[in-house]
Structures are given as structure tokens and as C-alpha cells.
Amino acid sequence: MGQTLTCLHYHLVFSTKNRLPQITTDLRDPLYAYLGGIIRAQRGLLLQAGGIEDHVHLLVSLPAQPSIADLLRLIKTNSSKWVHETFPHHRAFAWQSGYGAFSVSPSNDDDVRRYIASQPEHHRQTTFQEEFLEFLRRHQIPFDERYIWE
């Protein structure tokens, strides 16, 4: 076969360092737009962004390269630097070292979009930690909770 053809959609989830409430109202929308720009620069597409003060959810469509690990490294490094340069009052802003990346069938994109859009309502009843552990269980990812929360 002469071409590499892919349809790779992922639900990416990651938190601010120590789950501190650093994604404030003034930062949220510009941050999501910046994350989308990083993803576009890697030939991907940000389909939906959302979250609350201590974490983000991104639904993305990606090419085969870069790898998820490389993309998340770029997203976190570049966006942290951008936040520090653009929002001086957010000097303490940082992302946690880890992340969750969950594959999504394009037929489920609309459900994931709704889920991401409803984050503020969802987190009135569920903490980020409860939510993330549920994702790991639902996707049958083995984990040791001692090593998940920095």
C-alpha cells in the first residue's frame, strides 16, 4: 500500500499540577484556542475542548505522527510557556506530568463532545479523581492509584 490512511480520535484528559484550580475564567478560552493551535501545527484537529479549573478534556483527531506521548509533551510544554508569557499573574501555572489518552470511535464523537461540554455540571457531583479512575476502569487500563496523583 502506497499511503498511510488513519482515523485516530482520542479523548485526552490531564490536570494542572497538584490539581490546583489554575484554569481561571480569564485563561480558559484563550488556553483552549492555544491548545487547538498546537494540535493544528501537528496536522491534527481539536474537535472539542472543555474542563474545569483543575483539568482539561480534549477530543482530537490526529494523524499517525506524532505519537500521543510526543503530542502531549508539546501541548503541555508549549502551553505552559505561553501561559507564563501571556498571563504574568499565572506564573505558578503548570500541568501534571501524566495524562489519560482514550481512543474514541468517530461514531461516538458526538457523545464525547457532549460529555466534554457538560464538565461544569458533571463536576458538581463528581471529583476529577473519581472521574479519571472511572475512565481507567471503563477502558480496562490497569493502574496503581499510589502512582496516579503526583
CATH of the domain at 113: 3.30.70.1290
Asked if pLDDT for residue 150 goes beyond 70, the answer is: no
Query: Does residue 143 lie within any of the structural domains?
Result: yes
pTM: 0.94
Query: Does residue 2 lie within any of the structural domains?
Result: no
What sections of 1-150 are H helices per DSSP? 25-41, 68-86, 109-117, 119-122, 128-138
Number of domains observed in the structure of the chain: 1
Query: Does residue 126 lie within any of the structural domains?
Result: yes
Query: Does residue 127 lie within any of the structural domains?
Result: yes
Query: Does residue 88 lie within any of the structural domains?
Result: yes
Contact 16, 149 (CB under 8 A): no
Residue-range definition of the domain harbouring residue 47: 8-147
Relative to beta strand 8-15, strand 100-104 is antiparallel
Asked if the peptide bond before residue 66 counts as cis, ω within 30 degrees of 0, the response is yes
Query: Does residue 1 lie within any of the structural domains?
Result: no
Give the pLDDT confidence of 105-133 residue by residue, as tens digits.
Answer: 999 999 999 999 999 999 999 999 999 99
Query: Does residue 108 lie within any of the structural domains?
Result: yes
Indicate the burial class of 20 (C-beta count within 10 angstroms; 0-12, 13-18, 19 or more).
middle
Give the pLDDT confidence of 4-40 residue by residue, as tens digits.
Answer: 889 999 999 999 999 999 999 999 999 999 999 999 9
